[in-house]
Structure 1
Amino acid sequence: MRAYLAVIKDSFREAFASKILWVLIIMIAGFLVLLAGFSVKPAMRTGIDSGDVVDMESLAIRMREAEADSPAGRIRGRFPNELQDKLKAFRPDTADRRTKSELYGGLRRQLAEQIRELSFATETRVPVESLSEEAKTLAGQEATLEEDRQLRLNRLVLEAALPEDVHASPSEVVNVTYIGFVLFEDITLSQDELEKGINGLLQVFIFLFVSVIGTLIAIVVTAPIVPRMFEAGAIDLLLSKPVSRSILFLSKFFGGCAFTLVNAAFLILGMWVILGLRLGVWSNGLLLSIPIYLFLFVLYYSISAATGVVYRGPIISVVMVVIFWFLCFVVGTAKEWIEGAEIRPSTVYTIIPAGEDILAVNTLGRVHAWSEPSGTWEMVFTQNQQQRQMPAFVEVSMRMQAGFPFLGTRYDKKTQRLVTLTKSIPFPLPGNGTSRLFVGRAEDDWARRGGTRASANPRALLLSPESEILAVGPQGLQVFTGDPEKTETSRKWMGLDFTMGKGAGRFVDATPADLPRWKRPFDATMDATTGNIIIFNAGEILLLTPKTTDGKTAYVAGPTRKLDTDEAALLAVAGNRLLVALADGEYRLLNATTLEPTGTSIPRGPEKPRQAIGSPDGRFLAVVSHKSEAWLLDTTTGQAVSNGVLSGDVHALAFNDDSHLLVGDIYMRVTGYSLPDFQRLSRHDPSLTTLQAVYRYGVLPVYTVFPKPGELNAVITRLFEEDNTVAIGGNANDLRADQFEIDIKTPLISNAAFLLVVLVLTCFYVARKDF
């Protein structure tokens, strides 16, 4: 054992004797000194930028249509005449990109200028009950406020005047400084924003400077260590003692990691201390990245060491490491490219039983109907001509930024039409705009009709038992009136209504007057039997009951129930059972009418649910998670239903009118099963395309057996994230938004297995070779 420890000690001694090590340590120390210049100072958020506006199009429409004597109307009245004229003439459907950009930019600049005027809060005259507690406190001291506090009050008044369009700002923020000087006066950050920003920068730093440049330098520096061990004289001296050749090699191998360990520990520990003391950000992810980076180096170093044993040359060792990296890069890139271009777009995201037909929506939002004669899916419900002309790579890029385009897709059996509501996409992303309602019918070949805009930012689409279309979100409840296949064009100005095409279709507010604005996390569902709307907002369940008077339906507040949780949730109703699927996997079963617990203990479900549904016969509840895990509950027994059908990658579930289960997965395959025996009743399985076949039978098997050093960056990403999924919009509490799982298990196991194989083979070679 002493001989092996001597080899390891000698490796550390050799590392510390290296001039390159001390040069790097001096460079790292200089970097840490420069980093220590950053600090923060308390500030107040007074301005407004593009990130503070929920949606510019919605804001422009609301400012255009506001009553002259409302707070929003009074703000508009302060605008220059030119901007007011542009607002009056603005029509989102016909305005081109340049017109929108100019109007949105001018509107934001004017709002920023207005809230810098000290008289803004007084002249806007927002009702006191609409103000936040911070705003009420400042308003009570308005006569004696200093200028910065008056500007803070102006910002809070703007938020109260436009609560649906301007994000609420945090009361405690900071400015980033360097050696005492504020870097950006107009940029203020809350502690949470500061931590997220720094963690994002740290991920980039770890990937680029540590994982790439640091690993390359370490490989070049350590490449001669193993070949030098097998030089004539050195190997003879070592083998003259009664030692194991394999253990001797492993001692030299792990001792060679000393160079990397010293540099990585000095850099990352130094950054961790400085960021904690100077910025108040103690990043545990930064500390935990040390062993991950060391593991990445060891993986590459195993190739270098194995080559050094065989060829006994440091140059060929470095070359082989580069070749190894290139092969891994090619295989990984090929897999990612094919998945992005073909596999993800051909994955079922939503299944819609539509009478005798089955519609399947892929991850790009393309709706398909099954054609029995050809045995393939045919695209229906196509988008407008402008969107169809978008190049494929632009559309894929848009979906990667905006996510799945629909907030809801429902089939109305009574009117026999497909009803969809698109999500709001912020400007300037392609396809930007507010939520819009579209419908289609089977006899019309599912052609897309309508396009009415929702006046708020809804989060869910609901259909009542009387075929009433509702859009619901934190801003409130909207009911659609008129013909959804046509569009009503609003023409309001200065409180006067010049609306064209009345009777066509529009959304009108139906939120109960006595209810406060709902909070996030948010979800909503409809009890198809009673017509009750059930709302989840910030850990509280609320029941809205329909009341019909003179042919008009209004919703009144019913019972509420607090769940004592901060988790987001999805809701689903089956019979008289309400499933509350919490993001942490704790599922609860309540009475759908009284909101009282049923007394039935149900098993945990998958974390991060994406879809929750109930069967028409009221017996089953089903959930699909963002990790493609499926969960099925039999409400009669309170037990989860297990079957191999649900154990694989399941991307979508649905129940048809007969309560048969429809299961969707990759390659646009949809299979129908009877319950609870899971007898297969139908299968819609199109033939593989050429690219899909290449992926399934070629790229995927090669990728599976290949090591994945590049995927270790995903492990580092996970260290800086609170959840094991990443949301496209950055809001992990929005369970209906696309979220991608950060897979840390696969790269760790795959790379560890490869490392073990390389070291075992090298040890076998060393033990058998006559040096």
Structure 2
Amino acid sequence: MKPYFAIVVDSFHAALSSRILWIAFVAIWIFLIALAPIGYHEDYTTTFRWFDLDNGTQMKAMLARGLIDPEESETALGRIARVFPESVERQLKQVAQGEDVRIDKAALAGALNEALDNEDWYDADAWQATVRLKELRELDEKTADELTESERRRRARLRIEAALPGVFSVQSSRSIMLSYAGFEFPAFFAIGKTQFIALINQFVVPIIMDWLLGFALIFLGILVTASIIPDMLQPGSLHLLLSKPISRTFLLLSKFLGGCAFVLLCVCQLVIGLYLIAGFRLDIWNARILWCIPVSVFLFSVFYSVSTMAGLRWRSPTLSIGVTCMFGAFVLVIGFVGSYFDALVRRPDQIARIAVAGSDIVVACRGGGIKHFDPDSNLWNELIETDFRRHDLIVPPIRLNESMIASAQIRNGRFNLYGSGSLDALVMRREDDFDPKPGMRLPNGTRRMYVWDDSLLALNNAGIMATKMQQMVDSVASSEEQDDAESDETAGELDLNASGAEVSADETIPKSSAAIGAAAWISDLLRMQGGATEGFVDILPGNVKLTDPVRLVFAPKLDSVVIYSRGRLMRLGRPKDGSMAEGAKLTVEVERTIEDSDAAATVIAASGDAVLLARQNESVKWFRASDLEAILEFEIPEGERLIAIEPIGQSESFAMLATSGQVWMVSRKDDDTVTTRPLDFQDVASIEYVESLGQLVVAHHIDSIDFVEFPSDKKLSGKTVRTIRPSLTGWRKVDQWLITPLRTITPQTGELSETVAALVSGKRSFAIGGNNEDDTEVIRLKIARPVLSCAAFTAVMLALSCVYFKRRDF
């Protein structure tokens, strides 16, 4: 082994003699020295930013009502509405009169920030009627002398949020402020330390891997090592080496390892330096960051195998560098095209929600479309076009009866939950081939609809509204009759105009909004901010206010609904007197407060007398539904985050979908322990239990579906009774037969950053967002695929190089 080791050392010495290497060393040291003064400190989240205003439409309506409604003048809402400057107040009054006025969110946020420093607007009695979170109650108990300036501003922000419930996006109570050499950056991260560490591990480290280690350092490495093989092939040098008792194959591999050893030295300096800076300056002592070292050397070996082959073939360092750069460009283009197809072809077609009516299936897709499966053609037919360019939000479709499904489309809902324009229910009937027909107008901001016996419930961040199911069904026929009447009327007007009849201005121009009384304005503002529309009534008790994250599930065994709202778990029973559709309120039967991460993304489900609740970065909690007492806690299998939980009938068994795409079945034993069992599905996007069929519907691999039936003995072993494997069309076919094979045979060097993200964070997947459960972006990291593709390519290139070197007479 000594001769081979000597060759490796000789190659390393050859690399050390390069001026480019020492330039790279100096550049690394300068970069680390420049990065060393970075620091951070954690403080309370106080300042409002324009993107904190999650529901701008609702905020305008609430503030306008606070200005013009005499009953609101001394409430928390009315007092906050009067803190805005005169220009904004004038615009709000125009909103109150029915005008479509756009108000700059930055101006609203700026006025609220000024209010943080001057709390003349605050009145303790007025705020008693608001929902005050635990954090605000604790701060209110402190005297002025006990509060720091940050705590005082934090308290002021929480008071403003309490006066405007549902307006602001959920933010962490703590923020990370970055600094450099003692000077604070103007921007801050409204996340706590745990989320900050996750941000570093899952995003910053992969970016460093992509650009610093995966581009700059690899390119420099090729420049330095490209001459190793051509120099070896010089007549005198090659003859001297071959005169020793070594084989050509091991000679070439030793030279190859010598080049990799150079990159190892550079990467070690950079990664260890970054590790120490992250530890000493950011308090992030994560030894997994050191995984970047072997992965970076492995990445370099892929490109160096091409450089080695080119050096053998042409014996020129310049050509070796040129061929390697062309190979890198080819890999980059294939990776870019693959990412393009992932984002714009595959993801928009991925099933997000499922509704089953009889044998018909309607799904909502990630791209904002709705589709119906046609078994005759074995294709998904688009009912609402999937378009990645739009930012619409689809209200999850629900089954109304055996032949009817309802949904809704919120225009621009991904940016503003209240969307653009009114929100009409879309009713799809079998007799119309599930062509969407407009139905009743839903309350603004409706995020979910539910069927409860003969009532239809609509949930938004303002409350829960109810209407009679039959009224929704009848609204479709009424809409069709109205469309026919309008068509006839339009035709008549065209005839009159054609005959020369004049149309007066009074007949064509609607009455000015100024003619509407103040009471009508207030009523319109209430609907604008998410209140009940015509046909709906608010059924939420007056003492219950919903604050994100909000989740609602049914507990049929107890004839109740279970609601989770920002740390409060409540079970609400039916109205004791009257019907919900007639305005009778639900009654709070049991309530529990759940401490810790009350703002964390949450999923919830109920089955029999059991309620399952999972919050991000916490164990799953099992409650008894009757009194909401916590029975037990258990960890999520493999440590993943749950994005959906579905009850399996009333058996007190559940199906849990993790971000990794794995479905876990769980049930409780008599000794208060749980049994978990994975279902044999991968890359699952959505699950839905269909009570009428007694089956769990599993959507996986973009748009494939399986129906799984479970026995009643709680063995958690399901049996697939129906499968849907749709035929591919259009760009999906191009992706299947062209792009995927190209990505398979091409080393996926760009995806190695995902491998690093998984190694550094210890997670195979993660979710972005989550306060709106229907708009959570799940990212599943590719771990093994890029490693296998790069390893196979490197092995093939080295094998070809060894064969060429062995057989060729140099």
Q: TM-score, normalised by structure 1?
A: 0.80
C-alpha separation between the residues in 1 aligned to 2:177 and 2:236?
62
Q: Deviations over 1:73-94 (max 9, x none)?
A: 1121233444223223338998
C-alpha separation between the residues in 1 aligned to 2:708 and 2:746?
36
Q: Is the 8 A contact 2:49 2:109 kept in 1?
A: yes
Q: Say whether 1:689 aligns with 2:690.
A: no
Match of 1:75 in 2: 80
Q: Deviations over 1:658-705 (max 9, x none)?
A: 324545445745455666698886666554214333322333233223
Question: What is the DSSP-based 3-state SS (H/G/I as helix, E as strand, rest coil) of the residue aligned with 2:31?
Answer: helix
- Evaluate the alpha carbon distance shift between residue 290 and residue 6 of structure 1 in structure 2; reply closer, same or farther with a 3 A threshold: same
RMSD of aligned residue pairs (Cα, Å): 4.8
Match of 1:658 in 2: 693
Q: Is the 8 A contact 1:471 1:477 kept in 2?
A: yes
Q: Is the 8 A contact 1:348 1:664 kept in 2?
A: yes
Post-superposition offset of 1:60: 2.0
Q: Is the 8 A contact 2:607 2:650 kept in 1?
A: yes
Identify the range of structure 1 (149-158 vs 256-265) with the bigger mean alpha-carbon deviation. 149-158
Match of 2:488 in 1: none
Identify the range of structure 1 (576-585 vs 276-285) with the bigger mean alpha-carbon deviation. 576-585
| Counterpart selection for 2:436 from 429, 446, 459 | 446
Q: Say whether 1:613 aligns with 2:646.
A: yes
C-alpha separation between the residues in 2 aligned to 1:341 and 1:683?
26
C-alpha separation between the residues in 2 aligned to 1:605 and 1:260?
35
Matched residue type, 1:16: L
Match of 2:210 in 1: 207
Post-superposition offset of 1:203: 3.9
Question: What is the DSSP-based 3-state SS (H/G/I as helix, E as strand, rest coil) of the residue aligned with 1:394?
Answer: coil
Matched residue type, 2:356: P
Identify the range of structure 1 (536-545 vs 272-281) with the bigger mean alpha-carbon deviation. 536-545
Question: What is the DSSP-based 3-state SS (H/G/I as helix, E as strand, rest coil) of the residue aligned with 1:54?
Answer: coil
Q: Say whether 1:309 aligns with 2:312.
A: yes
C-alpha separation between the residues in 2 aligned to 1:586 and 1:152?
29
Q: Is the 8 A contact 1:353 1:654 kept in 2?
A: no
Match of 2:8 in 1: 8
Match of 1:525 in 2: 553
| Counterpart selection for 1:165 from 167, 171, 179 | 167
Match of 1:21 in 2: 21
| Counterpart selection for 2:452 from 464, 488, 506 | 464
Post-superposition offset of 1:297: 0.8
Q: Is the 8 A contact 1:544 1:556 kept in 2?
A: yes
| Counterpart selection for 2:240 from 221, 237, 240 | 237
C-alpha separation between the residues in 1 aligned to 2:691 and 2:286?
49
Q: Is the 8 A contact 1:328 1:706 kept in 2?
A: yes
Question: What is the DSSP-based 3-state SS (H/G/I as helix, E as strand, rest coil) of the residue aligned with 2:74?
Answer: coil
- Evaluate the alpha carbon distance shift between residue 411 and residue 89 of structure 1 in structure 2; reply closer, same or farther with a 3 A threshold: farther
Post-superposition offset of 1:160: 3.9
Matched residue type, 2:227: P
Identify the range of structure 1 (739-748 vs 191-200) with the bigger mean alpha-carbon deviation. 191-200
Post-superposition offset of 1:42: 7.1
C-alpha separation between the residues in 1 aligned to 2:615 and 2:799?
46
Mapping of 1:246-325 within 5 angstroms? 246-282=249-285, 284=287, 286-325=289-328
C-alpha separation between the residues in 2 aligned to 1:564 and 1:79?
34
C-alpha separation between the residues in 1 aligned to 2:367 and 2:308?
46
| Counterpart selection for 2:540 from 510, 513, 522 | 510
Match of 2:368 in 1: 365
- Evaluate the alpha carbon distance shift between residue 454 and residue 174 of structure 1 in structure 2; reply closer, same or farther with a 3 A threshold: same
Post-superposition offset of 1:379: 2.9
Match of 1:413 in 2: 401
Matched residue type, 2:562: I
Match of 1:180 in 2: 182
- Evaluate the alpha carbon distance shift between residue 264 and residue 673 of structure 1 in structure 2; reply closer, same or farther with a 3 A threshold: closer
Q: Is the 8 A contact 1:724 1:742 kept in 2?
A: yes
Identify the range of structure 1 (540-549 vs 587-596) with the bigger mean alpha-carbon deviation. 587-596
C-alpha separation between the residues in 2 aligned to 1:683 and 1:284?
45
Post-superposition offset of 1:338: 3.2
Matched residue type, 2:349: S
Question: What is the DSSP-based 3-state SS (H/G/I as helix, E as strand, rest coil) of the residue aligned with 1:365?
Answer: coil
- Evaluate the alpha carbon distance shift between residue 342 and residue 656 of structure 1 in structure 2; reply closer, same or farther with a 3 A threshold: farther
- Evaluate the alpha carbon distance shift between residue 435 and residue 664 of structure 1 in structure 2; reply closer, same or farther with a 3 A threshold: farther
Post-superposition offset of 1:16: 3.0
Q: Can you give the 5+ residue segments of structure 1 that lack an aligned partner in the other structure?
A: 383-387, 400-404
Q: Deviations over 1:126-148 (max 9, x none)?
A: 44993765786588544898977
C-alpha separation between the residues in 1 aligned to 2:265 and 2:97?
59
- Evaluate the alpha carbon distance shift between residue 52 and residue 373 of structure 1 in structure 2; reply closer, same or farther with a 3 A threshold: closer
Match of 1:479 in 2: 465
Match of 1:759 in 2: 798
Q: TM-score, normalised by structure 2?
A: 0.77
C-alpha separation between the residues in 2 aligned to 1:233 and 1:333?
45
C-alpha separation between the residues in 2 aligned to 1:506 and 1:195?
45
C-alpha separation between the residues in 2 aligned to 1:150 and 1:358?
53
C-alpha separation between the residues in 2 aligned to 1:352 and 1:74?
45
Matched residue type, 1:110: A
Identify the range of structure 1 (170-179 vs 286-295) with the bigger mean alpha-carbon deviation. 170-179
C-alpha separation between the residues in 2 aligned to 1:465 and 1:424?
32
Mapping of 1:36-51 within 5 angstroms? 36-40=36-40, 46-51=46-51
Q: Is the 8 A contact 2:683 2:701 kept in 1?
A: no
* Paired-residue identity, %: 23
- Evaluate the alpha carbon distance shift between residue 317 and residue 667 of structure 1 in structure 2; reply closer, same or farther with a 3 A threshold: same
Post-superposition offset of 1:234: 1.4
- Evaluate the alpha carbon distance shift between residue 407 and residue 563 of structure 1 in structure 2; reply closer, same or farther with a 3 A threshold: farther
Q: Is the 8 A contact 1:481 1:508 kept in 2?
A: no
- Evaluate the alpha carbon distance shift between residue 619 and residue 144 of structure 1 in structure 2; reply closer, same or farther with a 3 A threshold: closer
C-alpha separation between the residues in 2 aligned to 1:43 and 1:635?
41
C-alpha separation between the residues in 1 aligned to 2:92 and 2:617?
45
C-alpha separation between the residues in 2 aligned to 1:14 and 1:354?
72
- Evaluate the alpha carbon distance shift between residue 313 and residue 340 of structure 1 in structure 2; reply closer, same or farther with a 3 A threshold: same
- Evaluate the alpha carbon distance shift between residue 675 and residue 5 of structure 1 in structure 2; reply closer, same or farther with a 3 A threshold: same
Post-superposition offset of 1:12: 3.0
Q: Can you give the 5+ residue segments of structure 2 that lack an aligned partner in the other structure?
A: 67-71, 479-512, 712-716
Match of 2:509 in 1: none
- Evaluate the alpha carbon distance shift between residue 523 and residue 245 of structure 1 in structure 2; reply closer, same or farther with a 3 A threshold: farther
Q: Deviations over 1:583-634 (max 9, x none)?
A: 7898787665466799999995994444433455859754444444345579
C-alpha separation between the residues in 2 aligned to 1:117 and 1:598?
46
Q: Is the 8 A contact 2:664 2:679 kept in 1?
A: no
Matched residue type, 1:438: A
C-alpha separation between the residues in 1 aligned to 2:187 and 2:708?
61
- Evaluate the alpha carbon distance shift between residue 287 and residue 139 of structure 1 in structure 2; reply closer, same or farther with a 3 A threshold: same
C-alpha separation between the residues in 2 aligned to 1:560 and 1:186?
34
| Counterpart selection for 1:558 from 557, 566, 590 | 590
